[in-house]
Structure 1
């Protein structure tokens, strides 16, 4: 899977600006005289070409881009992903099959090609994604990632069972990216990586990523990979957003830089808070009546700093006439090593709001303002 090549495209009818020869002869005047007939004939051809170009209208040499984004590389894997990855774990809980397929259709229509499935989610979600991939014939155009180990350990047997279970539900033969949700303290890292090596040899997985791993565990895994010839992490999926910065920036970020890991931030909208879904305390009160559990999760974020971040995001969103989610995700896309934020969306509207980030290119002033608003 490769990025769509964009650049200079020549066309038979390309029209260019007259060439400035740096004070040379004016159109209609001979360029030079030469006793050799062949040289004189060549100069005459050049002269006629200059006269023709001088009389033509001009237009840009570059064709307009066919899409407002480039696929972004995932470390050294050779995979290219849309700037926003879609976590499908919520689809089975909040949407029926028809609505879920519409959300997936909207994501694909925007150019989206990276789906993240969670083994801890209801198996119906993976089956739903599998039916969509098959009915739309999208498997060969989709980077399929799966998180394992969120509810169980990462023993060799447990890992093998989780991968086979997911592949069966998805109707797929291989996962493009296997994500270890976290470090299993009851299982050695060497056992886990050895099991991953077996899955790779069986062509059940292509590449490996870390999840909520502490920096020390990422370093340990790299040392083991080098010493034992085991698979190495190529990416990491930490929690990271405008609202939650310090843990990632002070811990995982330096290791990701040193190990050249692609970063796919999870919870990039802080549970919808940065999408301005609940921008005021009054809105939170109304949410308590409709969804008490979600309101309880958002309550701690309604701090002076949290409201300052939301106010800045909303201001730029209104100026650009894009959803607030696009600004919050656009900020992440300016950070080093970020491949694609992983967004949970359960409706077409949420998908549109998130994928709009692919076309947002923040100015330095906007990035600086968001940096200041979110400083801890």
Structure 2
């Protein structure tokens, strides 16, 4: 039997009918307040059903679909490319090859940092100009390393735009810590950049539920633009920080989630599955090995084994499976992956065509519990 047929045969978990939550029965003549509450519950259940099952049960009709960033009019490839590693490549030609590979698989969204040296941003800028791809590329500018006070934020955006050779960022990611700066000042400064059309929409960096709520309150009180999304660490190995209160607020505010560090520094790509492999990695990349060291434990290896098992069954790289799991999670627009080689781009980009069954997703979740 053909591999595809064998994998698809007899799988009840590939059911294509959507899961429906039965709404509570409505009394014949309820009190107005009760009727309003029941209406809210019914809408919430319908939204939960759609968000929870569509990524798993609605097979794509093409290799990938662009995924909308809620409320922005922007749609991105299922894997967003973080360009921060491109500045460390030996030459610009090699960096352009990585960007070409990403574009070749359908990639259209790049994260660019306001780094002190600006090499990666300039590299992206020359590539956009040489390939004439600015209009077809979603640019996410990540700022805040130098602070999030109004003057610092404005200077960072202007510097980044100059290096990229463009006049507008599609999404502005406020990723720094507002030390010594009020959150209101940061949001107000971001609103000014949106008003000046230097940025399209604002995305929060890794902040918690209380600050997301505060941002929505300030938006209402000060007539500021609402946050469009949240860029925060999230992976099979790092679930607790997001799946608690923060997930509830993301759902309530209908924010687009852009998971960062989705491969746990390369661990979920199988780069250091054993202690001996970690020792070899330490000789070549000591900083990366140091970040991975805490993951080489019972839980980490259990999660990696589950990822590798699904990857072997589907004949795709482990990184594609780890990213595909994130694409099944509610409100996830696309994980953000840093890559420094064509091979890494291909491996990560394969996630766009991996359609996990419920049984596979459940096995990964059990391993990472």
Q: For residues 178-257 of structure 1, what are the structure 2 equivalents within 5 Å?
A: 178-257=172-251
Equivalent residue of 2:260, what SS?
coil
Equivalent residue of 1:145, what SS?
strand
Task: Point out where structure 2 has 5 or more consecutive residues left out of the alignment.
Answer: 1-59
How far 1:314 sits from its partner (Å)? 0.7
Tell me, yes or no, if the aligned pair for 2:337 and 2:348 is still in contact at 8 Å: yes
Q: Number of paired residues?
A: 310
Equivalent position to 1:107, from 84, 102, 105: 102
Equivalent residue of 1:264, what SS?
strand
Equivalent residue of 1:115, what SS?
strand
Separation in 2 of the partners of 1:183 and 1:307?
Answer: 32
Separation in 2 of the partners of 1:205 and 1:370?
Answer: 37
Equivalent residue of 2:178, what SS?
coil
Q: What's the counterpart of residue 323 of structure 2?
A: 329
How far 1:115 sits from its partner (Å)? 0.2
Deviations 1:3-57 (A, max 9, x none): xxxxxxxxxxxxxxxxxxxxxxxxxxxxxxxxxxxxxxxxxxxxxxxxxxxxxxx
Tell me, yes or no, if the aligned pair for 1:89 and 1:121 is still in contact at 8 Å: no
Q: What's the counterpart of residue 13 of structure 1?
A: none
Is structure 2 residue 360 aligned with structure 1 residue 374? no
Tell me, yes or no, if the aligned pair for 2:231 and 2:259 is still in contact at 8 Å: yes
Separation in 2 of the partners of 1:241 and 1:201?
Answer: 34
Q: What's the counterpart of residue 21 of structure 2?
A: none
Q: For residues 249-268 of structure 1, what are the structure 2 equivalents within 5 Å?
A: 249-268=243-262
Q: Which runs of 4+ in 1 moved over 2 A?
A: none
Q: What's the counterpart of residue 133 of structure 2?
A: 138
Deviations 1:156-198 (A, max 9, x none): 1111100000000000110000000044031112222221222
Q: Relative to 1, partners in 2 of residues 1:369 and 1:121: Cα closer, same or farther, differing over 3 Å?
A: farther
Deviations 1:174-233 (A, max 9, x none): 000000004403111222222122211211111000011121111111100011101111
Is structure 2 residue 72 aligned with structure 1 residue 77? yes
Tell me, yes or no, if the aligned pair for 2:147 and 2:176 is still in contact at 8 Å: no
TM-score where L is the length of structure 2: 0.82
Separation in 2 of the partners of 1:241 and 1:121?
Answer: 28
Equivalent position to 1:296, from 290, 300, 304: 290
Tell me, yes or no, if the aligned pair for 1:241 and 1:270 is still in contact at 8 Å: yes
Task: Point out where structure 1 has 5 or more consecutive residues left out of the alignment.
Answer: 1-63
Q: What's the counterpart of residue 334 of structure 2?
A: 340
Q: Which has the larger share of helix?
A: 2
Cα RMSD (Å) of the superposition?
A: 1.2
How far 1:95 sits from its partner (Å)? 4.4
Deviations 1:69-107 (A, max 9, x none): 111010110101000000001111134211110010000
Tell me, yes or no, if the aligned pair for 1:183 and 1:212 is still in contact at 8 Å: no
How far 1:304 sits from its partner (Å)? 0.4
Deviations 1:98-125 (A, max 9, x none): 1110010000000000100111363011
Separation in 2 of the partners of 1:117 and 1:107?
Answer: 15
TM-score where L is the length of structure 1: 0.81
Separation in 1 of the partners of 2:257 and 2:129?
Answer: 29
Deviations 1:310-354 (A, max 9, x none): 111111111111010000000000000000000000100000000
Deviations 1:237-281 (A, max 9, x none): 010000111111113211111111000000000000000011111
Equivalent position to 1:93, from 55, 64, 88: 88
Equivalent residue of 2:234, what SS?
coil
Q: What's the counterpart of residue 68 of structure 1?
A: 63
Equivalent residue of 2:120, what SS?
helix
Separation in 2 of the partners of 1:230 and 1:183?
Answer: 20
